[in-house]
Amino acid sequence: AQKITQTQPGMFVQEKEAVTLDCTYDTSDPSYGLFWYKQPSSGEMIFLIYQGSYDQQNATEGRYSLNFQKARKSANLVISASQLGDSAMYFCAMRAGGTSYGKLTFGQGTILTVHP
Amino acid sequence: EAQVTQNPRYLITVTGKKLTVTCSQNMNHEYMSWYRQDPGLGLRQIYYSMNVEVTDKGDVPEGYKVSRKEKRNFPLILESPSPNQTSLYFCATGPRANEKLFFGSGTQLSVL
């Protein structure tokens, strides 16, 4: 069974500073995918970034980067130059490999608050 | 415009009264899935579908049914809702399971 753990229920950051949101995962599949999604207070789910288990380089999307450390089974999200609009709930998620390819497991989420 | 349409947005019902939450996408995506979101638990996958007539259980399938008779629609059926199914439900779709998902706006369900 696969598992995603986000140990930070809440994080605070000053505007324009960088912040790291932690995510660790557990799976026995050699092939898997890792995602980060953002959920603002309005409730919609917004895709941020994806990392495949065989990708050699860390994924980046604008101000978002995924610090993928395979041996440690961690997939931390780094947001550079935080903005007030980054205040939201952030979810880490993992797609299974093998015969459960479509199965997606989410973490509990981290609420990020950006202070001016 | 690419859309995932989920209806209704809000629903209050009583225990045991069958209901259906609809999900429709206009992106010709093969992959569709349903999630429930509860405080402190994140999102949990209920069912997913890799293509028409292909569905499989997620982590919390008990008390739910789905069908995928056509590519664009993936309804979630609660045959006999109970109060512990009170939750925020999301439908999501993607070209494949390993690509970004497009989420519907969510359905807030209350079962009294």
Tell me phi and psi for residue A24, to 5 degrees: -120, 155
- Give the model's pLDDT for residue B1: 81
Q: What residues have CB less than 8 Å from B27, skipping those under 6 apart? A: B2, B3, B4, B93, B95, B102
Give the count of alpha carbons within 13 A of A104, CB side only.
Answer: 36
3 state DSSP class of B49? strand
CB contact under 8 A, B100 and A35: yes
Is the per-residue pLDDT at A64 higher than 70? yes
Interior CA angle at B77 toward B13 and A105, to 5°? 105
- Give the model's pLDDT for residue B97: 63
pLDDT-based confidence at A21, cuts 50/70/90? very high
Nearest to A104 among B41, B45, B106 (CB): B45
Question: What's the mean per-residue pLDDT of chain B?
Answer: 94
pLDDT tens track for B26-57: 999 999 999 999 998 999 999 999 999 999 99
- Give the model's pLDDT for residue B32: 95
CB contact under 8 A, A93 and B43: yes
For chain A, the straight-line distance linking the first and the last C-alpha, in angstroms and rounded, comes to 41
Nearest to A47 among B43, B56, B101 (CB): B101
- Give the model's pLDDT for residue B112: 96
Distances from the Cα of B108 to the Cα of A41, A95, B35, B88, angstroms: 14, 25, 12, 4
Q: What residues have CB less than 8 Å from A13, skipping those under 6 apart? A: A19, A79, A82, A112, A113, A114, A115
CB contact under 8 A, B97 and A50: no
Is the per-residue pLDDT at B83 higher than 90? yes
Distances from the Cα of B58 to the Cα of A100, B16, B93, angstroms: 9, 23, 15
Is the per-residue pLDDT at B2 higher than 90? no
Q: In chain A, positions 54-93, which contact chain B (CB-CB < 8 Å)?
A: 91, 93
- Give the model's pLDDT for residue B96: 75
As a whole-number percent, the residues of chain A with pLDDT over 70 amount to 100
Tell me what the mean pLDDT of segment A46-53 comes to: 94
Q: Is B110 exposed, middle or buried (0-12, 13-18, 19+ CB in 10 A)?
A: middle
Q: Residue B22: beta bridge partners?
A: B7
For chain B, the straight-line distance linking the first and the last C-alpha, in angstroms and rounded, comes to 37
